[in-house]
Amino acid sequence: MFGTSGIRGGVGESVTAALALAVGRAVASEGYETVVIGRDPRESGIVLQDALTAGLRECGTDVIDAGCVATPTVARAVGTLEADAGVVITASHNPAPDNGIKLWLPSGKAFGPSERAAIEGRLEREAYDLAGWDGHGTITPLADAADRHAEAIRESVAIETPLEVVVDLGNGAGRVTADVLRDLGCAVTTLNGQPDGSFPGRPSEPDDHTLGTLKATVARTDADLGIAHDGDADRMVAVDETGTFVPKDVLLALFARESATEGTRVAAPVDTSLTVDDALSAVGASVTKTRVGDVYVAEKATEPDVVFGGEPSGAWIWPEETLCPDGPLAAAKLVELVADAGPLSALVAAVDTYPLERDSLEVADKSAVMAAVEDVARERYDESDVDTLDGIRVDRDAGWFLIRASGTQPLIRVTAEARTASGLEDVHKEAMGLLEDCL
């Protein structure tokens, strides 16, 4: 039921009010006595939040309602309000017909495997501790959740030379980014600023293909950079002052190098580019690999010498601030970096990059395909070249490839990288050939 980022699926299909009610009951029955809840702008989220709130209160849990806010706003509020857990009704970067449920701990980390297993167990058994007529939980509105989030970011960032920034909110819940940057003195232009869960301005997922308006706006103005979020603003990506999309692996390398010092580590998933390894090696730091998913990066980021965690998806974690991916914080950190170090295009150009390709293939049964991929990979390659931490990663002389099932969609994802273009062609062809044989 839980993928790498909570529960997600089509509304009225796998995600229903009945499911939300049951999850609320299960969370409350696990002993979480006070829960902060919020949602992204999807209209279906209103019904799902009502149902989940009813389930929580029906089992005696008190609810703090943050309203329509960014996911990191809720995740941060859990700890600052001394609540026991947080819930966000969101499908993050998924398209409008989807919605989902993501659960958070007071540390800012998403529910991990053990917490998710406990909830799933109660759902399977329908084991809920329903309260009597006089034992229902309360509900309290939280009107200043976004203000609290913004204040925390302002306290952690200093921008001595304010910049001109274009912020594409993607009709999502990330307005706190524009507010914080303005508070820090920047001139901010917003695109797709009206929250609308049908995402009329562009698809919810921000990438090089969906940010045409942002790239064009930055290119034709005096803006120093552009920022974009997904629907719930846990992700952040960027465009440099020329209107060129910044590759997410490069952005990860920039954040990692800025955070790291000699002897420290950065947490990143197994599909991360060699670009990050090289950038950290230059400052005497290193990468520690995790499974794909912000919960796994956050878990590794709790170790004392891990100073930053990031995913090429656009999720960035500064463990001294919070263990949740915080898109608005990342936006402010990037603006701070550009203000201090110079144009983003120059920072990007100084990062060594290698040919990398990412593909996705829709399949009916992810588990069956991945089982076949593992069997074939173990037959074809030496054991030392095959890593099964998350999916199947195979190291080759020319580079590496990774085949893994998406944790949120019915997709098999393929990543291949090499230090030369011809090497990438060979490695990618090998990866796709292996996958096609299994299909």
Residues 191 and 61 in one domain: no
Residues 166 and 300 in one domain: yes
- Token reading at 434: 């292996």
Residues 86 and 49 in one domain: yes
Contact by Cβ (8 Å): 255, 237: no
Sign of CA dihedral 137, 140, 145, 151: negative
Contact by Cβ (8 Å): 76, 86: no
User: What is the DSSP secondary structure assignment for residue 314, as one 8-state letter?
Assistant: T
Contact by Cβ (8 Å): 323, 301: yes
Residues 112 and 159 in one domain: no
Is residue 275 assigned to a domain? yes
The rounded Cα 256 to chain-centroid distance in angstroms is 16
Q: Which of 188, 160, 185, 146 has its CA nearest to residue 327?
A: 146
Is residue 425 assigned to a domain? yes
What pLDDT score does 37 carry? 98
Residues 99 and 77 in one domain: yes
Residues 110 and 208 in one domain: no
Structure-token match 């950190």, residue found = 333
Residue 247 CB contacts under 8 Å (≥ 6 apart), including other chains: 348, 353
What pLDDT score does 5 carry? 72
CA distances from 8 to 135, 157, 407, 410 (A): 31, 33, 9, 11
Residues 384 and 328 in one domain: no
What pLDDT score does 130 carry? 98
Domain stops at, among 146, 180, 196: 146
* Coil, helix or strand at residue 401: strand
Dihedral (C-alpha) 417, 421, 422, 425: value to the nearest 10 degrees? 50
Structure-token match 């999916």, residue found = 391
**Position 395: which residue type?**
D
- Give the C-alpha separation, 347 to 256, whole Å: 13
Tens digit of each residue's pLDDT, the chain (439 residues) = 777 678 999 999 999 999 999 999 999 999 999 999 999 999 999 999 999 999 999 999 999 999 999 999 999 999 999 999 999 999 999 999 999 999 999 999 999 999 999 999 999 999 999 999 999 999 999 999 999 999 999 999 999 999 999 999 999 999 999 999 999 999 999 999 999 999 999 999 999 999 999 999 999 999 999 999 999 999 999 999 999 999 999 999 999 999 999 999 999 999 999 999 999 999 999 999 999 889 999 999 999 999 999 999 999 999 999 999 999 999 999 999 999 999 999 999 999 999 999 899 999 999 999 999 999 999 999 999 999 999 999 999 989 999 999 876 789 999 999 999 999 999 999 999 999 999 8
Residues 188 and 337 in one domain: yes
Residues 342 and 389 in one domain: no
Is residue 277 assigned to a domain? yes
Sign of CA dihedral 393, 396, 400, 406: negative
Is residue 2 assigned to a domain? no
What pLDDT score does 151 carry? 97
- Give the C-alpha separation, 204 to 332, whole Å: 21
- CATH code (residue 106): 3.40.120.10
User: What is the DSSP secondary structure assignment for residue 138, as one 8-state letter?
Assistant: P
Is residue 202 assigned to a domain? yes
What pLDDT score does 4 carry? 66
Residues annotated as catalytic are: 92
Domain of residue 77 covers 7-146
Is residue 88 assigned to a domain? yes
Residue 337 CB contacts under 8 Å (≥ 6 apart), including other chains: 254, 258, 347
Domain stops at, among 349, 379, 397: 349
Structure-token match 């529960």, residue found = 7
- CB neighbours of residue 113 within 10 Å: 11
Is residue 214 assigned to a domain? yes
**Position 28: which residue type?**
A
Residues 385 and 315 in one domain: no
User: Considering its fold, how many domains does the chain have in total?
Assistant: 3
Give the helix ranges, DSSP H, for 157-226. 175-183, 212-219
What is the pairing mode between strands 265-269 and 306-311? parallel
Residues 62 and 131 in one domain: yes
Residues 284 and 379 in one domain: no
Q: Which of 229, 254, 224 has its CA nearest to residue 240?
A: 224
- CATH code (residue 379): 3.30.310.50
Domain stops at, among 319, 349, 379: 349
User: What is the DSSP secondary structure assignment for residue 246, as one 8-state letter?
Assistant: P
